[in-house]
Structure 1
Amino acid sequence: MTDYKKVKLLKFKIHGDSRGGLIALEEYNDIPFNIKRVYYIFDTKDNVIRGKHAHKSLEQVLICVHGRCKVLLDDGIERKTVTLDRPDKGLYISNAIWREMFDFTDGAVLLVLASKLYDESDYIRQYDEFLKFIQKR
């Protein structure tokens, strides 16, 4: 991506022993914003693309806590695909980045941490509107 502040991979510390692993996430420590909403995507069927939108102001961290999925990121100039396949790896996505999640493995669970409560007016759901939005910035 041309603006590396807008998208970055985060590595979370695993606290584990013979019983298994644990990852604790704290806002402004592990997550670069105040967490206002948490949701997860699961049971995604073959060949389904999720997302297909951008946000005007919302920030997110995506974590594939089980299985694997890919995320297409588009800043209007460059496209990049990131694979999320470990629960200790998160993908920070700032606002004004188009995202599409796809190629989910069977049983994949994608956890999303969001900086704001749900607000439909923050979504840009048409790609041509996204391009107009980023040109105005």
Structure 2
Amino acid sequence: MKRTSVYDCSMIELDKHHHESGNITVVENNETVPFAVKRIYYLYDVPGGESRGGHAHKALHQLLIAASGSFTVTLDDGRVRRTFLLNRPYQGLLIVPGIWRTLDDFSSGSVCLVLASHRYDPEDYIYDYQEFREVKNG
């Protein structure tokens, strides 16, 4: 796993094209996001008080976008934690590999859109926080 920190993760401002009949935001591979998108999924109907995430990736890059509503994302590199509020559909949180993430505080009707650099691979996930810390600090 690469040596990464929460400071390698950042909010990205996406192009917002305003029109009187509605706005549009465009995301393009290797331009808007610094990777080619291989997988797209979204989280929705998350019950109040529930958390999502609770894992890290060994190689996967992600861009998380609050397509609707809001939620918080807490990033942890094993030493430092940072929390971001996502609540604008023209902003995304870029998460690099080797970062533990949890998603909380979902507002009613919120939708978390996730753009990922790789297809699903169960071997890329670390679900145990202690194992994550050992890999990061080892």
- Cα offsets for 1:3-57 (capped at 9, x unmatched): 522x011001111211100001001111110100000000000110000000001
Distance in structure 1 (CA, Å) of the matches to 2:10 and 2:29: 16
2:22 paired with 1:20: yes
- TM-fit CA distance, 1:93: 0.2
Partners of 2:6 and 2:75 within 8 A in 1: no
**Match of 2:7?**
4
Give the 3 Å change call, closer, same or farther, for CA 111–3 of structure 1 in structure 2: closer
**Match of 2:45?**
43
Q: What's the % identity of the aligned pairs? A: 41
Distance in structure 2 (CA, Å) of the matches to 1:121 and 1:17: 44
Distance in structure 2 (CA, Å) of the matches to 1:80 and 1:91: 12
- Cα offsets for 1:71-119 (capped at 9, x unmatched): 0100111111100000011000000000000100000000000000000
Which of 93, 112, 129 is residue 114 of structure 2 equivalent to? 112
Residues paired across the two proteins, number: 135
Give the 3 Å change call, closer, same or farther, for CA 36–65 of structure 1 in structure 2: same
TM-score, normalised by the number of residues in structure 1: 0.95
Q: Which runs of 5+ in 2 are unaligned?
A: none
**Match of 2:83?**
81
TM-score, normalised by the number of residues in structure 2: 0.95
Q: Which runs of 5+ in 1 are unaligned?
A: none
Distance in structure 1 (CA, Å) of the matches to 2:28 and 2:125: 26
SS of the residue 2:135 aligns to: helix
SS of the residue 1:131 aligns to: helix
Query: 4+ runs of 1 displaced by more than 4 Å?
Result: none
Letter of the structure 1 residue corresponding to residue 135 of structure 2: F
Partners of 2:6 and 2:82 within 8 A in 1: no
SS of the residue 1:58 aligns to: coil
**Match of 2:127?**
125
Letter of the structure 2 residue corresponding to residue 109 of structure 1: V
